[in-house]
Amino acid sequence: MPNPSEPHLAVAMHGIVKRFPGVLANDHISFEVRAGEIHALLGENGAGKTTLMNILYGIYQPDEGIIYVKGKRATIRSPRDAIRLGIGMVHQQYRLVSTHTVAENVVLGLPVSFFFPERAARRWLEEFSQKYGLSVDPNARIWQLSAGEQQRVEIIKALCRGADILILDEPTSMLTPGEIDELLGIIRRMAAEGHTIIFITHKLDEVFAISERVTVLRQGKVVATLETAQTDKTSLARLMVGRDVIFRLEKKPAQPGEVVLRVEALHVLDDRRLPAVKGVSLTVSAGEILGIAGVAGNGQRELVEALVGLRKSQRGRVFLKGQEVTNQPPRALIEQGVCYIPGERAMGLAPGLSVAENLILKDYCQEPFARGAFLDYAVINAHANRLVDQYSVTTPSPATPVKLLSGGNIQRVILARETCQSPTLLIAAYPTSGLDVGATEYIRQLILQQRDQGTAVLLVSEDLEEILQLSDRIAVMFEGEIMGILPAHQADLGTIGMMMAGAQRIPMSEAA
């Protein structure tokens, strides 16, 4: 066993254990990163990658285990300690003050001169721009920047604080393919300058594109640490998931029926009142799944919210089974059989109310759950017992507050509620994000089942694999527009990737 205090190791974590209520997030993890290397930390959502890195960055304290940084034993009680040790972290959600300028964000909290502190920032920005290609306009306000530019600001912030060990938590998740290439270039240049990079990801391609070594986590344990050059995609996938991955799901050919949803040239604004959906037209028929691919933040959320009545559209029309439903309120759409699995799970739940009550969140005002003004809890509980069984929700009882369930079970509660009455139109936004393989497979099968029962399904996902597995037709969204709609059997990753980046457009006429 190598000596953990060897100086050529930038980071050595040994026997790290971290428990959360009901979960063992890190189970005796040992993790070593050599100085100056790009080390990928690979694992599925929930494998414990982010927890481990949050421990290294001082956000969590480990229950057990020891940490060495640059050969010295370290107690990292807070991010401040981590920064002092030269560790920087770029989180998945950026932590920037959106109304302030880039320069102001960079110097925030730094001991620079009291007056005009952003002057120092300008100097740094100049330097990093030349050295690593990290160019951002110091005077721009954060909200004006793209996700990729905001990420650069975060990296610059870490560098200004003297970070030579940089943790990037799923840095590509919000970026377009072009921005990803730029980021990978920046990372390579930083590594060449002697920085150590820990790159958290669940995407196999990125591991091969950037890393020298890779550590695979599964269910809180380290499965393997390998030289990237000496492994391949299939074996990494097997290590990550714990079994052979079926890249195609059993799927019968679709039997599309009548058109259920027709959207004509829809325009929707985002929260900042800027155009987010720009003239989207599409149709979804009964018994088919239309997948909408695209990097998050290209108008998918606004489109979906307009379709379920949570956001007003500016122009354009929406038809449900031939009836115009443009800008009808959520209640009216719910009653016409529009069901919605929201992208942010929290939106679909009242966390402190019981599983049973959450299962009738939408139907509470209808027979048989309501009799006149009163709720009939006998019926509500019976309904809950039935759905808990049918959808295999693991819960101590239907009376348990839903916030106590795990992510996968919470999603099952939402799915049970949204699919139990055979909806006319099912809109599923990022239905498997953050879930483990088991739950993911179950949910994908359920969505296919809905399709086979004649439901029209609109699936929004960032996960191309999911889109390819489930969809019968694939629409690609970029900057609020549909770049084209392809039948799934004609779709290849290259074309879709180009369309996601806005580099290719397929005329609408042939698809609609």
Would you tell me which residues interact with another protein (CB under 8 A)? Answer: 21-22, 61, 73, 75, 308-310, 329-334, 340, 342, 346-353, 357, 361-362, 364-365, 370, 373-375, 377, 404
In the complex, minimum distance from the CB of residue 287 to another protein, in angstroms, rounded to a whole number: 26
Pairwise CA distance, residues 396 & 123, whole Å: 58
In the complex, minimum distance from the CB of residue 421 to another protein, in angstroms, rounded to a whole number: 14
Taking every pair of Cα atoms in the chain, the longest distance, rounded to a whole number of angstroms, is: 74
Cβ(258)–Cβ(285) below 8 Å:
yes
The smaller minimum CB distance to another protein, of residues 11 and 338, is found at: 338
In the complex, minimum distance from the CB of residue 339 to another protein, in angstroms, rounded to a whole number: 11
Ramachandran bin of 156, using left for φ above 0, alpha for ψ from -120 to 50, beta for the remaining angles: alpha
In the complex, minimum distance from the CB of residue 463 to another protein, in angstroms, rounded to a whole number: 23
The smaller minimum CB distance to another protein, of residues 13 and 190, is found at: 13
Pairwise CA distance, residues 126 & 160, whole Å: 12
In the complex, minimum distance from the CB of residue 337 to another protein, in angstroms, rounded to a whole number: 13
CA count, 13 A, side-chain hemisphere, 176: 18
The smaller minimum CB distance to another protein, of residues 308 and 500, is found at: 308
In the complex, minimum distance from the CB of residue 346 to another protein, in angstroms, rounded to a whole number: 7
Give the start-end residues of each E strand in 257-360: 259-269, 275-285, 289-293, 313-320, 323-324, 338-341
The smaller minimum CB distance to another protein, of residues 399 and 512, is found at: 399
For tokens 């059989």, what's the residue? 337
Give 331: exposed, middle or buried? Use CB within 10 Å, 0-12, 13-18, 19+: exposed
Closest-CA residue to 200 (of 166, 175, 223): 166
Cβ(291)–Cβ(467) below 8 Å:
yes
In the complex, minimum distance from the CB of residue 408 to another protein, in angstroms, rounded to a whole number: 17
Pairwise CA distance, residues 114 & 306, whole Å: 47
Cβ(369)–Cβ(380) below 8 Å:
yes
In the complex, minimum distance from the CB of residue 350 to another protein, in angstroms, rounded to a whole number: 4
Coil, strand, or helix at residue 66? strand
What share of residues in the chain are helix, strand, coil (percent, to 5)? 35, 25, 40
In the complex, minimum distance from the CB of residue 361 to another protein, in angstroms, rounded to a whole number: 5
The smaller minimum CB distance to another protein, of residues 106 and 405, is found at: 405
Pairing type for strands 313-320 and 323-324 reads antiparallel
Give 79: exposed, middle or buried? Use CB within 10 Å, 0-12, 13-18, 19+: middle
The smaller minimum CB distance to another protein, of residues 404 and 437, is found at: 404
Cβ(99)–Cβ(145) below 8 Å:
no
Give the start-end residues of each E strand in 286-368: 289-293, 313-320, 323-324, 338-341
The smaller minimum CB distance to another protein, of residues 274 and 378, is found at: 378
The smaller minimum CB distance to another protein, of residues 75 and 323, is found at: 75
The smaller minimum CB distance to another protein, of residues 156 and 308, is found at: 308
Neighbours of 438 (CB within 10 A): 9
In the complex, minimum distance from the CB of residue 509 to another protein, in angstroms, rounded to a whole number: 36
The smaller minimum CB distance to another protein, of residues 101 and 424, is found at: 424
